[in-house]
Chains A and B, each alone.
Chain A
Amino acid sequence: MTQPIAPVFHRVGNRRHEFTLAPDGNRDWHRGRVPGLSRHWLKWRGGYNPKTLQRERRLADKRPLWWLIGLGGLACAAPMLPDTLLQVAVVFCVFAAINVIWTLIIGAAGILSLATMAVVGLAGYAAAAANVYLGVPWPLMFAVGAFVGLVVGGLLALPSTRIDGLYYALLTIGVAEICRVSISQIRALAPQNSSINNVGSFIPQDWYLQRPGLLLGFATAFVLLLLALLLFRVINSERLGLQLQAAREDEDFSEAVGIDYRRARLHVFLISSAALGFVGAYYAMLYRSISLNVFSLDQLLLMFAMIVIGGMGRAEGAVIGTAIVVVIDRALIDLGPLRIILIAAVMIAVTLTTHHGLADVRSQFRGWRHRIRSERRAASTRKGGEVMPEEATEIADKQLIAYRRFDRRLRDRLKEMVTPELIEQHRSAPLGPHSDALARVLNYFRRGEMPDKYAILQEGDAGAWRYSVMALSGEPGKPPRVVDDRVYETRDEAYHAVFLLRVNDLLES
């Protein structure tokens, strides 16, 4: 027998790092609400510090804080950035907006569409053409873009309910390519390099590519991102999103309770497509032109990288992924083609190390820490052995720790009493009379906790009873479970079988 490893008693305890408020219970707590909604602005949670029982008010969902720091920082820093970086910031905002909307389609609606840029591009072309050839004033271009987005979304939606995810993804890539080729063939639409130039814009002609123009561009792109995030929030966290969430968890159940999730998916897809169309119009205005680049496979794959790096299904994932890819692609322009390799490397690193992209790193980290903790505890304590200081921090009823220690020592003493003679004594008279040693062992067994405590099942007719061993649940309304398939002829045999199981449990512990 190997010597058990001597336990090491580490000191535990942490200072408080989390920001909490210490409210006074006698003061009013005014719970503000988002106008028109029953939502509260922030998810504050009241409670008691388990160490001191002092009152605490804690921000249970800190994401609004991170959004404020991230986006607020960007908004404050942008006016101080040099032109090149400001342009990078603009690109970030636009692509982040597109990706946030795309996330709605992939994540919330669960439709694996890669035709995102096709929608943006078609709407952009349509809006630009309407402005350049039909003289539609620029503010109306948004409406044209959104409308075209809605129509294209409607067309794309048709096959989405019929074919499987992967085939649909391939189909949408095809659609994007068809769009690119078609537009390059329509000379009337785009005579020069298949692009439409001199598109009307909210940026005055003489500000274009000047500092004020760039600043205005950034400001509008930033607002665009905020609008995309608002859309995400409204769809994902309100009725439509909740219905889709239910459908993702269990389609049959949600259908049974009256959720028409196919319809909800379609709605999300159409709304998102219209939003992408809006972005397309904005895109044409921002650069005062639109070219076939928007349809390019490179662009699509770059955006795919953004989603993969950030993580699918969450707005923060879309934004983080976009930030990383845009910074590498646009800010490190000096690196040349190496940039693409760098992006690929980041993508591979992220997919190899994370389960759901960077946005999920925190919970993944916690899971990892939890696993390490479990492993260490398993290594440092024997089964049912001493409670270590780390574990004690998690046990509210300290008497349980005392019981554990007492129990371990008692078991050590009882184990020495279990001999073949003792077992034979029980076999010959399960209900007694018993020696002191056997009485002690039995009393220990009988005092055990209720869950998984053994019981005997009696089946059959009077006089021809058969017995088997069960384990009780210890919970009201939850029946006992069968332990094994052995059947005993007499009750005494069954009593003894239970005894042997318990002896085995004791010796193994």
Chain B
Amino acid sequence: MAKHRIFGYCTPWSVKPGEAMRFMISGEGVEEADAMLVRLIHGDENPDGPGFIEEEIPGAVTERLHVRRQFTQKGAYATVPGLETHDVADGSFTLAAFICPTAPGKQRQTLLGRWDISGSQGWALGLNPEGHVEFWVGNGKDVDQVTAEVPVIPKTWYFVAATWDAKTKRARLIQLGRVGRYNGHLGPVVPYDYNSITDAPLRVTPKAAVAEAPFLWAGASDWNDRRGRFVSTLYNGKIDRTGLWNRVLDDDALHAIADGGAFPVDGAVALWDTTLGYTDTGIGDTIVDTGPHALHAEGVNRPVRGMTGWNWQGRDDCYRLNPGQYGGVHFHDDAMTDCRWEPTIEWTVPQGLKSGVYALRLTTAGAEDHVPFFVRAVTPKAPIAVLMSTFTYLAYANEHLAYEAPIAQAITAHTPILTTRDVEFVKLNEFGLSTYDHHSDGAGCCYSSHLRPILNIRPRYRSSAMGMPWALPADLSLIWWLESSGYDYEILTDHDLHAEGVAALKPYNVVLNCTHPEYYSERMLDATEEYLTSGGRVIYAGGNGYYWVSGLREGEPEIMEVRKLDTGSRAWQAEAGEGYLASTGERSGLWRSRGRAPQKIVGIGFTAEGMDHSTHFERMPDSFHKRVDWMFEGIGAEEKIGTAGLGLGGAAGIEIDRYDLSLGTPPHTMLLGMADGFSDNYPLVSEEITYAFPGRGGTQDPQVRADITYFSTRDNGACLGIGSIAWSMALPINHGQNPVARFMKNVVDAFARPGPLPGGAFVGEEKLWR
């Protein structure tokens, strides 16, 4: 294990000169680090390209930093501030909840309670390491418990209640299965007897935990001398409506609750109603307490809301239709959406800093890190904008595909290429998951945040699953090309587009997408459409764009949400009824499934992916039309375009898009180029498969191809679509002297100029002799 480590992250991600930023840095085995602001020009160290290029900006940042180890709290839980003053430990009490454990057994998990692990003090309801529901109490010295007779069945709803009678010193633990036809993993035909009622005298009288240990949902407070207070024995699973009373509720009362009756108000300390708080645009992290003290629970690390509850009847598939059946709050012990580190540097972006992709480079003995961020122009001046795919960067942030997804090698057709840094990353396992990973209970991860070090947006990073750059490091090839071609360009991010809409694009004559603009919010689609309809020009040079319905919660742009639904190339699939974004209220899944296939906006959309080999484009007949032949100036009629590249050796490949009128490609779209000859490792995407039959791979299916399309819009607007992730990564070949770059230069030069486009006059009726 490496002795020296340094990691950092920053917020906000996209800034303008004059704006404030914070850098959070943690060092292990080091106390000092050198910081240097650098502008990133190129990332991939592939010897076929320009290699890693950064431009140092001396004097912009404090150059010698003191760093220390900062700890990261993993796991989703909810904390109830203020309950310590209403603790029930000195008398009788009842704690009741609906729960659906998803990974019982193996280790102790705390469901609910005020329990101090290090002090063995308090009371809590949880699951013991054998997977039985347990209610335990501690007096600071000894711990005693009452345990349900049978283990809980995973992914099954239960009503559980624990009562403590301070007079008789007896505890009672009731567990009642709540198995419906829709709400759980198993149906009613399975002859389990889920119920258990255990009654026992306790030898220990509970004593309220210390004030620093709050009442928690899905975890318990722990302490050690290096970290201080933290939360452990985290829970995997859902918790629905929950109540705490300062009296013993009898069996009749508890059965009435279990059957769906109202929670009694008499003696209530807290009555958390997880079904409250839903709006048409989603729900936040607060779990509402309707009891006398309004002891609301605050979610940490984004417990997943908008999930089906114990009483889900299967008829309504969204919390907007029937919030009363959407009381499930799903907690994961490995969820992590905010490292919550202390800021190491508070910094104001200096005036006059050129717009670009920057990073704070941290160097210390034996370790280095780049913390990338994006600087926009205060007032846009350049004609060209590059839209950095920050949504996509989040979606893939710290993905573990190469290490944990058995099918990854079959998809990529690659044996993973790991670096020593990747091996360290696997061991570290601390900075959370991507939307391509599964939580430890098998559920897909729907949240990804940039409030954590993201190792795979480091400029030199190569995706270990594919042995090539992915996302930001790949996009830097476009930056290098613009830079080395002397273009005047500025940077935008998905987050800016989401926040500002078309206003962010409007100042520019042309906007270039990056290699993989896969994750898009509705506002981003709307803005792109509005830009195109009002004279804007878009070069969509990427693959599999505008694909997943993604969202940000208002006011919290750091965390993106996506739910992977019924179709599409999906790393996981949301459970039935859980396909709507809690951040926005929208149905997630593919934009195509919601009537907005990418073809409707940029002419092309996702058709296949494969990572064995990229190929080249060829001109199609339309490219000889005078409307567009200026784009091919300097390129022969049958010249292969992009026979080399940093993305698997060609300009066409990795993820590829195609023209399709049936999916909404504008009818006047011209097909300028295509690439075919892909291997069967490029199978047709699943959203195209209705009947499955043999031969849907690249060697047999005509839909497996990459297209270059062009169409014009109102007011001299235009859209060029180049459906390939590998395209931009082919620009740096031969120092930028290659047909791909030539084509791009022809187009960018024309698109960046205001006024009519070349060839715009050739719209007459074709009267041909040939």
Contacts and interface: CB of A to CB of B under 8 A. Distances in A.
A25 B681 CA distance: 53
A28 B649 CA distance: 70
Interface string A1-44: 00000000000000000000001111111111100011000001
Contact of B679 (A29, A433, A445): A433
Nearest to B410: A446
A33 B417 contact: no
Interface stretch (A129-137, A186-194, A254-262, A457-465): A457-465
Given A476-B400, A476-B429, A29 B196 contact: yes
Q: Which of A23, A44, A457 has the most CB of B within 10 A?
A: A457
A472 interface: yes
Interface in A429-443: 431-434, 439, 442-443
A432 B613 contact: yes
Given A23-B149, A470-B418, A447 B679 contact: no
B265 interface: no
Contacts of A31: 146, 198-200
B426 interface: yes
A304 to B, nearest CB: 40
Contacts of B423: 457, 470, 479-480
Contact of A458 (B202, B418, B428): B418
A47 interface: yes
Q: Which of A27, A44, A46, A57 has the most CB of B within 10 A?
A: A46
A491 interface: yes
Contact of B149 (A29, A54, A462): A29
Contacts of B716: none
A399 interface: no
A454 to B, nearest CB: 6
A102 interface: no
Interface in B140-167: 142, 144, 146, 148-151
Interface string A347-363: 00000000000000000
Given A31-B199, A33-B201, A450 B404 contact: yes
B413 interface: yes
Contacts of B405: 450
Interface in A407-445: 431-434, 439, 442-443, 445
A450 B418 contact: no
A447 B419 contact: no
A103 to B, nearest CB: 28
Q: Which of B52, B204, B405, B681 has the most CB of A within 10 A?
A: B681
Interface string B419-434: 1100110111100000
Contact of A439 (B144, B148, B149, B680): B680
Contact of B416 (A25, A33, A455): A455
A450 B649 CA distance: 28
Contact of B150 (A47, A462, A463): A47
Interface stretch (B26-34, B185-193, B638-646): B185-193
B203 A456 contact: no
A32 B200 CA distance: 7
B415 interface: yes
Contact of B199 (A28, A449, A450, A453): A28
B81 to A, nearest CB: 32
B648 interface: yes
A504 interface: no
A456 B416 contact: yes
Contacts of B407: 447
A108 interface: no
B199 A47 contact: no
Q: Interface residues of A toward B: which range?
A: 35 or more
A247 B679 CA distance: 63
B133 to A, nearest CB: 11
Contacts of A431: 413-414, 612-613, 648-649
A476 B404 contact: yes
B406 interface: yes
B410 A30 contact: no
A53 B419 contact: no
A502 to B, nearest CB: 9
Interface in A461-479: 462-463, 467, 470, 472-474, 476-479
A52 B679 CA distance: 49
B150 A449 contact: no
A433 to B, nearest CB: 6
Given A26-B195, A476-B400, A476-B429, A449 B406 contact: yes
A48 interface: yes
B197 interface: yes
A26 B197 contact: yes
A472 to B, nearest CB: 6
A39 to B, nearest CB: 9
Contacts of A443: 410
B51 interface: yes
B190 A46 contact: no
A457 B419 contact: yes
B200 A30 contact: yes
A478 B410 contact: no
Contacts of B195: 25-26
B572 interface: no
A477 B440 CA distance: 12
B200 A459 contact: no
A267 interface: no
A332 to B, nearest CB: 48
Contact of A55 (B150, B201, B400, B427): B150
A46 B334 CA distance: 30
B47 interface: yes
A495 interface: yes
Contacts of A28: 197-199
A239 B413 CA distance: 58
A76 to B, nearest CB: 33
Contacts of A455: 402, 415-418, 464
Interface string A389-421: 000000000000000000000000000000000
Contact of A432 (B148, B193, B199, B681): B681
Nearest to B648: A431
B422 to A, nearest CB: 8
B196 A25 contact: yes
B679 A439 contact: yes
Nearest to A476: B429
B467 interface: yes
Contacts of A470: 418, 423
Nearest to B172: A28
A52 B237 CA distance: 26
A28 B197 CA distance: 5
Given A431-B612, A479-B423, A479-B427, A29 B680 contact: no
A501 to B, nearest CB: 10
A479 B426 contact: yes
A448 interface: yes
B193 A456 contact: no
B660 interface: no
A295 B178 CA distance: 69
A46 B613 contact: no
Contacts of B199: 28-31
B613 A25 contact: no
Contacts of A86: none
A96 interface: no
A498 interface: yes
Q: Which of A449, A467, A480 has the most CB of B within 10 A?
A: A480
29 contacts: A23-B149, A25-B150, A25-B195, A26-B195, A28-B197, A32-B200, A46-B150, A53-B192, A54-B191, A57-B149, A431-B613, A432-B679, A447-B410, A450-B404, A450-B405, A453-B409, A455-B402, A455-B417, A456-B416, A457-B417, A458-B418, A462-B52, A476-B429, A477-B426, A477-B428, A478-B427, A479-B424, A480-B423, A494-B415
Given A53-B192, A447-B410, 10 more contacts: A33-B203, A38-B204, A54-B191, A55-B193, A450-B405, A462-B45, A463-B45, A463-B47, A476-B400, A479-B424
The 5 A-B pairs at the shortest CB distance, nearest first, are namely A25-B195, A46-B149, A462-B45, A477-B429, A31-B200
